Structure 1
Amino acid sequence: MAVEYQCCETQFFIRLLIILLLVLFAGLMSGLTLGLMSLSLVDLEVLAKSGTPQDRKHAAKILPVVRNQHLLLCTLLICNAAAMEALPIFLDSLVVAWGAVLISVTLILLFGEIIPQSICSRYGLAIGATVAPFVRVLVWICFPVAYPISKLLDYLLGHRHEALFRRAELKTLVNLHGNEAGKGGELTHDETTIIAGALELSEKTASDAMTPITDIFSIDINSKLDRDLMNLILEKGHSRVPVYYEQPTNIIGLVLVKNLLTIDPEEEIPVKNVTIRRIPRVPETLPLYDILNEFQKGHSHMAVVVRHCEKTGQQSSNNNADGKHMLKAKY
């Protein structure tokens, strides 16, 4: 009788241990399903290249495992389902049927779903990197069943899972990372402004960045560089001043203010006697990227935007006050 009692006690603890392992295994599979599948390949590649040293190490271990995401998903779900289906079988030998169902649901819900997913959603990168070798073994074990299902999912849903942001989404993401958003971001206001401006640059043309000719400070080529004009130029604080002929809309070039430092206002030298640099003319539909490339060549940091006439198909004449606008390079 003592031997039979010891045997029953041993079987009881063995089944209890198996139940515990099944719950932990199901919880691990459930947590990894959430933790690993929530990490896109783009997120992992970013962490592997520019994350902290620890994140780089973890991402490098996880990347080979999650590269075939449908195969990984099928493996984790198959293992999770097998553990949950086996749990009532061992519980049924210890308690009555309704008790086995009640205990099974409670254990799976609490220790197999809620707690593991809560932990893995927060520490999914570290946990995934730790169990990556074990997951590889499971992939090979479940391969005969998981592989055909994963190939079917690839065919039906596609196998590309890159979570790349569109231009507008990326701009919003940058703004959220600014310290002004109050979400713990490290980007300053100037940095977010520069990045957002660069993202919008490809969609804007010269007409979006030009300054109306009426708001431009310019000087007549026939005027004299007397004390009043020199003081006015210095007061404006521009490094370049457009020069026009007869009327402000007829811009013919520009002068560099630094070249006027050696001029004596008492001599009243005419503007036409100083060096006048050529100013390029660009159509209003020219993309800002093309204009920026021209500015970077160093030939000019200012351009005249010429409006295109819809009726004649020609550029506006110099006498049309609405035909010309100034575009300044801002750095």
Structure 2
Amino acid sequence: MFDKKKFLISSISITLLIFTVFHNVENVIQKRRFLSEDDESLNEKHEQEEHKNVRKTYSPAEIDFWICLLIAATLICMAAVCSGMTVGYLSIDELQLEIYKEQGTNEQQRQANIILPIIKQHHMLLCTLLIGNAFCMESLPIFFDKVVPPAFAVLISVIFIIFAGEIIPQALCTGPKQLIIAEKLTPIVKILMIVFWPISYPLARMLDSYFGEHGSTRFQKNELKALIELHGIQKHATGGGHSNEDQGFTQAEINMITSTIDLRDKTVEQVMIPIKDVFSVNKNNELNKETLARIASSGYSYVTIYENQKENIIGTIRAKQLIDMELTKRKISELDNLVRPVLFVQNDTSLFEMLMIFKQRKTKIAFVVETNKIEQTNTQRNPNFQIVEEKVQKKIIGLISLKMLFEEIVKKEFHDQDNHIKFNSLKPPQIQKIGKSQSNIIMEPEEKK
């Protein structure tokens, strides 16, 4: 966000710096303007005498030669650090460091903890390194001029700056040991940030005000899916590697990951079995030969039980328990100990929410109800304000199972028919809504008393 106070402080600091420079330049010009001709002639003679006495270059036999050479070498090294770290630090992916910090090796975690605080100050780091590099490059010819003839000072400075101060450092700082070098040079960079703070801080704050603070990259869902798919493509394109780390993602893994990402965007209504296609029997049917043959030929492990019309589901029963029973004229409704109630969810429930509901309720199937058919007539809350009991009129439109969710994730059909699950009572279940995290549950099974 635009901080007016910080921007004002930065602007005033830069303005004062510029004003001071121009004021000093103006004083020098005015002094020279008001010098008399006699004074100018005397100054010229004095400068000529001093110029004769001052030696342009030092010989290797003099200590000043080695001092200037040492300063020049130091400036080249500092220019190399600033140039290499400008590219090295600013090319490090902040998101990758955050990943290393959470899931990396001990060495990677240590490197991330040291480097992250530096690169988070993006504009401050940028200004410090650029100012330091410019300072070193501009100062280098001054000291080379003392150890080599003036004609060669600039040429030698340019050669050293290009190779020793630019190309080689940038190649090293962006190579395979980028993080190791960045970690080792962090103390030097911190010192430079302190030294150039009076200049770099106002500039950095001004850049933050205009362009905003630099943050790590965050991917949208579609970008993340494309990135995962790209890893699979890269594997096949390069032939992969021999270790597990180099294998990349197989196509099955890519399908599973991208499908999991899409779970929140899909609803149960998109993948459910329509209620007209769900195998079910009337609770008033007798357990005769025809009914048992129909249940056996269906191939389902569990059968739904309805009352009067197919959309009025009241529970499920295990098919094997019916088939193993002796033929009788008893109705299914009389098998109170075998029929179990079911779970009802709204049709706009996302697949991710449905997966969490299955996990929390420890069940494998649920029936989908149209949301717009829900009519609240009575509401009561428990003392913890977590469970809401309601009387509703429901229209069941389909069935969703845990198996369907797994098929949606792996993009492959499972060849088992266990689409129904046993519950605990033939009594109509109480209709409940469970808090915010389970707001799409409108009916859940009662515990057997």
TM-score (norm 1): 0.75
Deviation of the 1:262 alpha carbon: 7.3
Of 202, 206, 210, which residue of structure 1 is paired with 2:264?
A: 202
Distance in 2, matches of 1:231 and 1:106, equals 90
Letter in 1 for 2:279: S
Distance in 1, matches of 2:286 and 2:252, equals 40
1:116 aligns with 2:176: no
Structure 2 unaligned spans of 5+: 1-57, 241-245, 374-391, 407-449
Cα RMSD for the two superposed structures:
3.7
Letter in 1 for 2:75: L
1:64 aligns with 2:117: yes
Map of 1:297 onto structure 2: 360
CA deviation string 1:226-247 (max 9, x = no partner): 56445434x45x5x44345677
Distance in 1, matches of 2:341 and 2:287, equals 20
Distance in 2, matches of 1:140 and 1:266, equals 91
Deviation of the 1:96 alpha carbon: 5.2
Deviation of the 1:75 alpha carbon: 1.1
Matches within 5 A, 1:120-269: 120-122=173-175, 123-176=177-230, 181-182=235-236, 184=246, 192-213=254-275, 216-221=277-282, 222=285, 224=287, 228-229=293-294, 231-233=296-298, 235-236=299-300, 240-244=302-306, 250=311, 252-257=313-318, 260-261=320-321, 263-264=323-324, 267=327
Q: How has the CA–CA distance of structure 1 residues 12 and 300 changed in structure 2, closer, same or farther, with 3 Å as cutoff?
A: same
Deviation of the 1:126 alpha carbon: 0.8
Q: How has the CA–CA distance of structure 1 residues 193 and 95 changed in structure 2, closer, same or farther, with 3 Å as cutoff?
A: farther
Preserved contact between residue 32 and residue 124 of structure 1 (Cα < 8 Å): no
Preserved contact between residue 267 and residue 349 of structure 2 (Cα < 8 Å): yes
Q: How many residues align?
A: 312
Q: How has the CA–CA distance of structure 1 residues 6 and 286 changed in structure 2, closer, same or farther, with 3 Å as cutoff?
A: closer
Preserved contact between residue 114 and residue 183 of structure 2 (Cα < 8 Å): yes
Preserved contact between residue 120 and residue 215 of structure 2 (Cα < 8 Å): no
Letter in 2 for 1:278: P
Map of 1:326 onto structure 2: 399
Map of 2:340 onto structure 1: 277
Preserved contact between residue 225 and residue 270 of structure 1 (Cα < 8 Å): no
Map of 2:61 onto structure 1: 7
Preserved contact between residue 230 and residue 265 of structure 1 (Cα < 8 Å): no
TM-score (norm 2): 0.58
Q: How has the CA–CA distance of structure 1 residues 295 and 7 changed in structure 2, closer, same or farther, with 3 Å as cutoff?
A: same
**Amino-acid identity (%):** 31
Map of 2:97 onto structure 1: 44
